[in-house]
């Protein structure tokens, strides 16, 4: 193939059905759910190969440093990171990516991929794409349809205009129509008929084709998105779409806004494994079960269980299941889920209830990601708190002070540059420094390796709102936080 393919990774979503592993502050696509990499990292690596340009990302502001950090860990650079001011579903995200790519490379081919799916055979997936290129070059919107192996009610389906080839090769054909998530009887019929595939949500088209489709089928999405891109602000390498026009956008999926109305739709069958890991039942199904249908992940011990998932996420937390049938158990140090497997969809409702009650675990993890790195609270007592803090190479926290706590910093990995009032010192590994109450101080990592320190706070109040900021590299509000 001669055309460079420009991957666009959609990674702004924050589903709750995989709670407690997936949280609003650190959703599913960034979690090491399968294997050693996050789903987002696997997606980026799947499309990092000859013939593919560097990926563009569309994400939320809260995730902008997570995506860069995770890409850096797999040694992939992003061509562009578009920041959505708020979540507006996939149509505005795809439109913004198309407009931006069209500016840089008019008429280029773009491959839109969700970043939270599992496609175990990356090579096979990449080898399927060339079959879609002629149609995409020819003005078609190409969607990839997955060969179904069960009557799944949790996916949308694609109706074919003719039966797939007997060997299920990636022969393009005209897409007849989209089918909404079916009821069980309909799903059985779709599977038995052999004329339907699962809708993977993966698309290939040229920027010219998709922008014309937006112009025809969703002109207001195109106009508002174009305005948001025109007024976008560059920020530390990110492109922040302008909130003003963006907020007027309807929350609408690319399927509804464009695909279901377009006439130039082509489908390419894909016969490899694929899962959207949409809920815990899907995770259970995706993993290799033993003869009794039991899947264990992490340090977990099943005793006489059947058709059960035991998922312990932390090496120092043991999960034991006894006599369980069709149970999902997910253990984390700050939250545990135990659900009947048939009720996997209701995790969403439980999270909504916790959120309504103000339970922090509903949306956040102990580890809190910030522009400069991350921290986690290890223990909070009435008169002290201990945090672990990691600062990226070259990064710096804001110049700040606290009214109600002093801080002891012990550098345990790397090297810190510490400003206290007017004095700047270097604190080496295995050295410590003391920040009195009220002192203006700043923590920086001047080195090329991560800095880890243990912060022991002493005082009588440890809330994040006892931070008075004087200077901040990351354009966060100065003065008293939040």
Interacting residue ranges for a second copy, rule: CB under 8 A: 19-20, 299, 301, 303-304, 310, 312, 316-325, 327, 329, 331, 333-340, 342-343, 346-347, 349-350, 353-354, 359, 361, 378-379, 381, 383-384, 386, 388, 406, 408, 410, 412-413, 429-430, 432, 434, 452, 454, 456, 458
The answer to whether 233 and 242 have CB atoms below 8 angstroms apart is yes
For a second copy, the closer CB: 223 or 386: 386
For a second copy, the closer CB: 54 or 439: 439
Query: Least distance (Å) from a second copy to the CB of residue 312?
Result: 7
Q: Which candidate, 204, 169, 175, places its Cα nearest to that of 47?
A: 204
Helix (H) or strand (E) holding 386: strand 384-391
For a second copy, the closer CB: 167 or 428: 428
For a second copy, the closer CB: 171 or 432: 432
Helix (H) or strand (E) holding 200: strand 196-206
The answer to whether 139 and 264 have CB atoms below 8 angstroms apart is yes
Residue 426: count other Cβ atoms within 10 Å of its Cβ: 14
For a second copy, the closer CB: 11 or 354: 354
Q: Which candidate, 146, 132, 120, 127, places its Cα nearest to that of 49?
A: 127
Range 127-130 contact pairs with CB under 8 angstroms and sequence separation of 24 or more: 128/170, 128/268, 128/270, 128/272, 129/5, 129/204, 130/1
Query: Least distance (Å) from a second copy to the CB of residue 443?
Result: 16
For a second copy, the closer CB: 159 or 447: 447
Query: Least distance (Å) from a second copy to the CB of residue 294?
Result: 13
6: its two tokens? 């420009």
The answer to whether 11 and 59 have CB atoms below 8 angstroms apart is yes
Bridge partners, residue 423, by sequence: 420
Query: Least distance (Å) from a second copy to the CB of residue 37?
Result: 21
Query: Least distance (Å) from a second copy to the CB of residue 24?
Result: 15
Query: Least distance (Å) from a second copy to the CB of residue 17?
Result: 11
- What distance in Å separates the CA atoms of residue 312 and residue 297, rounded to the nearest whole number? 6
How long, in residues, is the chain?
Answer: 482
For a second copy, the closer CB: 20 or 114: 20
What is the gyration radius of the CA atoms in the chain, in angstroms?
25
* Cis upstream peptide for 459 (omega within 30°): no
Query: Least distance (Å) from a second copy to the CB of residue 334?
Result: 5
Query: Least distance (Å) from a second copy to the CB of residue 291?
Result: 19
The answer to whether 290 and 310 have CB atoms below 8 angstroms apart is no
Query: Least distance (Å) from a second copy to the CB of residue 383?
Result: 6
- What distance in Å separates the CA atoms of residue 464 and residue 481, rounded to the nearest whole number? 8
For a second copy, the closer CB: 140 or 300: 300
For a second copy, the closer CB: 103 or 413: 413
Query: Least distance (Å) from a second copy to the CB of residue 146?
Result: 29
The answer to whether 298 and 315 have CB atoms below 8 angstroms apart is yes
- What distance in Å separates the CA atoms of residue 374 and residue 107, rounded to the nearest whole number? 40
Query: Least distance (Å) from a second copy to the CB of residue 425?
Result: 16
Distances 69 to 9, 38, 64, 393 between C-alpha atoms, Å: 15, 12, 9, 11
User: Over 11-30, what HEC string results?
Assistant: CCCCCCCCCCCCECCECHHH
For a second copy, the closer CB: 200 or 445: 445
For a second copy, the closer CB: 7 or 20: 20
Residue 98: count other Cβ atoms within 10 Å of its Cβ: 27
């Amino acid at each position: 193939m001669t055309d460079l393919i420009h991957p666009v990774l959609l990674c702004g979503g924050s589903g709750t059905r995989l709670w407690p592993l997936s949280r609003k502050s650190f959703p599913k696509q960034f979690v090491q759910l399968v294997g050693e990499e996050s789903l987002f990292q696997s997606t980026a690596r799947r499309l990092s190969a000859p013939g593919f340009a560097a990926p563009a990302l569309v994400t939320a502001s809260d995730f902008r440093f997570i995506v860069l950090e995770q890409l850096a860990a797999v040694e992939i650079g992003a061509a562009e990171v578009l920041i959505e001011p708020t979540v507006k579903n996939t149509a505005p995200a795809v439109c913004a990516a198309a407009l931006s790519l069209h500016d840089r490379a008019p008429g280029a081919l773009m491959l839109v991929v969700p970043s939270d799916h599992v496609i175990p055979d990356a090579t096979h997936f990449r080898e399927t794409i060339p079959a879609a290129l002629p149609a995409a070059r020819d003005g078609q919107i190409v969607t990839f349809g997955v060969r179904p192996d069960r009557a799944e009610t949790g996916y949308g389906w694609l109706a074919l205009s003719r039966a797939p080839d007997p060997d299920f090769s990636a022969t393009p054909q005209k897409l007849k129509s989209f089918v909404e998530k079916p009821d069980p009887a309909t799903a059985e019929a779709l599977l038995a008929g052999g004329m339907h595939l699962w809708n993977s949500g993966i698309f290939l088209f040229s920027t010219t084709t998709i922008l014309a489709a937006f112009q025809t089928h969703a002109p207001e999405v195109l106009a508002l998105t174009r305005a948001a891109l025109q007024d976008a602000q560059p920020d530390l390498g990110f492109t922040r779409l302008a909130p003003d026009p963006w907020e007027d956008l309807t929350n609408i999926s690319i399927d509804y806004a464009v695909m279901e109305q377009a006439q130039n739709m082509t489908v390419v069958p894909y016969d490899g494994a694929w899962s959207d890991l949409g809920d815990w039942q899907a995770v259970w199904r995706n993993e290799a079960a033993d003869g009794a249908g039991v899947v264990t992940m992490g340090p977990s011990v099943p005793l006489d269980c059947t058709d059960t998932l035991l998922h312990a996420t932390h090496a120092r937390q043991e999960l034991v299941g006894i006599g369980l049938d069709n149970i999902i158990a997910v253990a984390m140090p700050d939250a545990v889920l135990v659900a009947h497997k048939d009720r996997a969809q209701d995790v969403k409702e439980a999270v909504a209830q916790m959120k309504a009650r103000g339970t922090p675990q509903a949306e956040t993890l102990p580890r809190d990601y910030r522009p400069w790195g991350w921290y986690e609270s290890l223990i909070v007592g009435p008169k002290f708190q201990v945090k672990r803090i990691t600062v990226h190479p070259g990064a710096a926290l804001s110049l700040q002070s606290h009214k109600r706590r002093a801080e002891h910093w012990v550098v345990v990995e790397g090297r810190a540059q510490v400003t206290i009032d007017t004095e700047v010192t270097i604190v080496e590994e295995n050295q410590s420094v003391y920040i009195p109450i009220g002192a203006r101080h700043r923590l920086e990592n001047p080195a090329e390796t991560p800095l880890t320190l243990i912060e022991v706070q002493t005082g009588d109040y440890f809330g994040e709102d006892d931070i008075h900021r004087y200077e901040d590299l990351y354009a966060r509000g100065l003065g008293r936080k939040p």
